[in-house]
Amino acid sequence: MPMLKAEHISFSYTGRGSQEALRDLSLQIEPGECLAIVGRNGSGKSTLLSLLAGSLKPGTGSIECAGKLGYVPQGNALLEDLSVWENVVFFAALGGISKKDIPDPLPLGISSFRRKKIRALSGGMQKRVSIACALVAKPQILLLDEPCAALDIFWKMKALELFWEAKRAGVAILYVGHDFSEILRLSDGILFLDHGRQLFQRPLSQLPSSPIELEELVRSLLPEEASF
Ligand code: ADP
Ligand code: MG
């Protein structure tokens, strides 16, 4: 049974001149599976994750979640005037995890600045807190919107290891990213979005195994004006 299933979802932002941000999109993810979402800026990736996380409501179509959801949005959703530790406790509690079940040390090295307020942290440090907050709540589904974009090479590797561990433990992952070597390491399949529509979806077995070849394939498959 899929952990996450979306069927024929469409969505438009309200407001003058708003176009349909997503059109007739369907996907499903099994436990322990990772589906990568790839597409140009503005193709609808973050809108899709907001819909799956329930922070937006689809105009048409249906979304079914069979487990607890963890979400790392593209822009952080942390409580800026609270400390790192207070955020961790808050997001763990939202996921039904009590203080005593929070790992010590915290993931991604954030224990070293656990007393600092979120607003006093760099973008990359905030992103590490955001990822840690999602993980400590022990989700069964992880929605990751460019989680590694602000991380230095060291923390990027650590974050990818944690996502791998979660996957091995049966977590279903939806991973938005632009880095094909990250995607090839983590994903079982890729869904390509273009102008809010699915351009194509392929299992990893039907894609080249080198990031450069994959990048070339994507370029050749995307419409000319939508090239990477
Ligand atoms: P991506 O994450 O792939 O870069 P987004 O999902 O953020 O793309 O955006 C998809 C489309 O929806 C874009 O055309 C963008 O301008 C539009 N959009 C995103 N957020 C809003 C919003 N809050 N209000 C109106 N339009 C939006
Ligand atoms: Mg986005």
Beta strand 34-39 with 189-194: parallel, antiparallel or unpaired? parallel
Ligand 1 binding pocket includes 127 (Cβ within 6 Å)? no
**Range of the structural domain that residue 55 is part of:** 1-67+140-228
Are residues 93 and 54 part of one domain? no
The Cα–Cα gap between 82 and 98 comes to 18
Ligand 1 binding pocket includes 39 (Cβ within 6 Å)? yes
Are residues 183 and 130 part of one domain? no
Are residues 51 and 147 part of one domain? yes
Number of H helices, E strands in the chain: 6, 9
Find, among 93, 151, 98, the residue nearest to 125 by Cα. Answer: 151
Does the predicted model carry a pTM greater than 0.75?
yes
Ligand 1 binding pocket includes 209 (Cβ within 6 Å)? no
* pLDDT, tens digit, 9 for 90 and up, residues 8-54: 999 999 877 778 999 999 999 999 999 999 999 999 999 999 999 99
* pLDDT, tens digit, 9 for 90 and up, residues 77-124: 999 999 999 999 999 999 999 999 999 999 999 999 999 999 999 999
Residue 196 CA, closest ligand 1 atom number: 10
> Residues near 85 by Cβ (< 8 Å), separated by ≥ 6?
114, 115
Are residues 120 and 106 part of one domain? yes
What's the total number of domains in the chain?
2
Q: What is the pLDDT of residue 115?
A: 98
Pick from 46, 48, 197, 228 the residue to mutate for probing ligand 1's pocket: most ligand atoms within 8 Å of its CB: 46
Are residues 154 and 45 part of one domain? yes
CATH (domain of 2): 3.40.50.300
Are residues 154 and 125 part of one domain? no
Instruction: Point out the domain boundary residue: 113, 138, 163.
Output: 138
Query: Residue 57 phi/psi, 5° resolution?
Result: -110, 130
Paired tokens of 129:
């807190």
